[in-house]
Amino acid sequence: MSAVPSPPWQSISETLCACGEAPFWHAREERLYWLDAPLQRIWRWHQPSGHAEHWDLPQAVTGMAPCRSGGLLLVMADGIYHVANWANTPMPLARLPLGATDSVIRGGRCDPWGRYWLLQRPASASGPSRGGTLYCLRTRSTPNPPLIAVRRGLHDVLGWSSSPDGRSFVWCDPLAQEVEQATLSNPGLWPPELGMPITLNRFKRSAPGTPDTSTLAPALDRPVGGAMDQAGRYWAAIAGNGRVICIDPQGHTVAEIAAPALQPSGLCFGGPDMRTLFLTTARAHRSSEELARYPLCGGVFCLTVDTPGLPTPVYWD
């Protein structure tokens, strides 16, 4: 396992979020975008100027992606929307099968063919219930592109990323405490066909009876977000003991980096050369002891790495 890279994590702005999630790098705008779903807010940060700004919406946004036209695709509680420009009125693209109060929605990311993937599961599901359904939104060749169910029986999906060749997907399942992988049997074709997920890396609770030596170190490690680099390695943010790990294509952990907070919440690559690793974190529900030790909980941080990440896929609108 490799040593921690240098320089250490740097805070990109004074912005603190309740829970920063789903970051992505918009190369054309030289901006980092991310969500703060508990506050129903979208953030963006312009790297050349260092300016950060937010946009408050009438409902929470749980997923987001850049569009080929320059706009944004937004996943909200009741459906998928398109917005032509920052702070414009979102226009509906597709309705979700379950109602807003009946489900939990996990917005994913686009694939190399311009389609958008997301997971929806019943809100009543508790624990590691495999009640989630993975959906794919087709490219916008018509005013209302179809949203189809691709695979049922999933736990959860965070940090959705495609492999460098686009033939497989890797994601985090925080409920099962796993990083999972599945292969596309017909890459680029419609409708997509996704194989049965396999476990790429698994995390475990502390053994029963193990003493907890620190109130700041929960026994549960949960992968909550990730991104793929150009070597096919998956970088995952691990909440609980606060770290980022790098997993090779065979599922082995090849690097581990301490995070600047115990609850990292999202991860992506960006910057002019795609060698900047951006990390979002959570501040909501943190203890006073944790906030004293990690005063920048809820901040967004960056770190330079050796291997560049893959460019952010866009939705073909």
Q: Which residues pair with 47 in a beta bridge?
A: none
Tens-digit pLDDT profile for residues 42-89: 999 999 999 999 999 999 999 999 999 999 999 998 899 999 999 999
Helices (H) and strands (E) in the chain, counts: 1, 24
| Residue 129 included in any domain | yes
Q: Which domain holds residue 190?
A: 10-205+217-304
Tokens of 125: 């599901």
Show the CA angle centred on residue 297, arms to residues 107 and 35, nearest 5°: 25
Residue 315 falls inside a structural domain: no
pLDDT at position 205, please?
55
**Does any domain span residue 310?**
no
Tokens of 172: 């985090």
Confidence of residue 241 (pLDDT cuts 50, 70, 90): confident
The model's confidence at residue 265, banded by pLDDT at 50, 70 and 90, is: very high
Residue 312 within a domain: no
| Cα distances (angstroms) measured from residue 39 to each of 14, 134, 196 | 17, 26, 35
| Distance in angstroms (rounded) separating the CA atoms of residues 152 and 154 | 6
Residue 5 belongs to some domain of the structure: no
Query: Does residue 211 lie in a domain region?
Result: no
Q: Note the pLDDT tens digit of each residue in 195-237.
A: 999 999 998 654 444 333 334 444 478 999 999 999 999 999 9
Sheet-wide strand order for 72-76: 61-66, 72-76, 79-83, 91-95
**Over the stretch 99-144, which tens digit does the pLDDT of each residue have?**
656 788 888 899 999 999 999 988 765 555 678 999 999 999 888 8
* pTM score of the predicted model: 0.92
Give the count of domains, the chain: 1
Q: Residue 219: what pLDDT?
A: 47
Note the Cα 225 to chain centre separation in Å: 4
Burial status of residue 159 (CB atoms within 10 A of its CB: 0-12, 13-18, 19 or more): buried
3-state secondary structure (DSSP) of residue 263 = coil
| All residues at 6 or more sequence positions from 94 whose CB lies less than 8 Å from its CB, including other chains | 79, 80, 137, 144, 145, 146, 147
Give the model confidence (pLDDT) of 284-312 as tens digits: 999 999 999 999 999 999 999 999 999 99
pLDDT score of 209:
41
pLDDT number for residue 72: 97
DSSP 218: -
Band (pLDDT 50/70/90 cuts) for residue 98 is: confident
Assign residue 284 the CATH number of its domain: 2.120.10.30
Question: In this structure, is residue 210 part of a structural domain?
Answer: no
Task: Please state, rounded to an integer, the average pLDDT across all residues of the chain.
Answer: 90
The helix or strand, by DSSP H or E, that contains position 32, with its residue range, turns out to be strand 31-36
